[in-house]
Amino acid sequence: MPRRLPALSAPRKNPTAPDVLTLSLQPMTPIRIICKLKLEFFANSHCVGTPTAATIDETPYTATSTFGAVKVSNSNTYQIGNSSGWIITSSGANTVSVDWLSTLNIPDGNGIYCLRLTANDGVEDQTKPATTTLIVDNVAPTAPGALTLNNRGGNYLQLNFGAQTQESNFQKYRIFYKQGTLVTEADNRINRCQSRLH
Q: Buried b / exposed e across 174-190, counting CB within 10 Å, b at 16+?
A: eeeeeeeeeeeeeeeee
The 10s digit of each residue's pLDDT in 106-163 is 999 999 999 999 988 888 888 888 888 988 988 888 888 888 888 888 877 788 878 8
Class of domain 7-137: mainly beta
- Please write the tens of the pLDDT for every residue from 58-70: 998 889 888 889 9
Q: Using the predicted structure, report yes or no on whether residue 77 has a pLDDT greater than 70.
A: yes
DSSP string, 130-186: EEEEEEEE-SPPPPPPPPEEEEE-SS-EEEE--SPP--TT------EE-SSS---TT
Alpha-carbon distance of 152 to 51, in angstroms, equals: 57
Q: Where does CATH 2.60.40 sit in the chain? A: 7-137
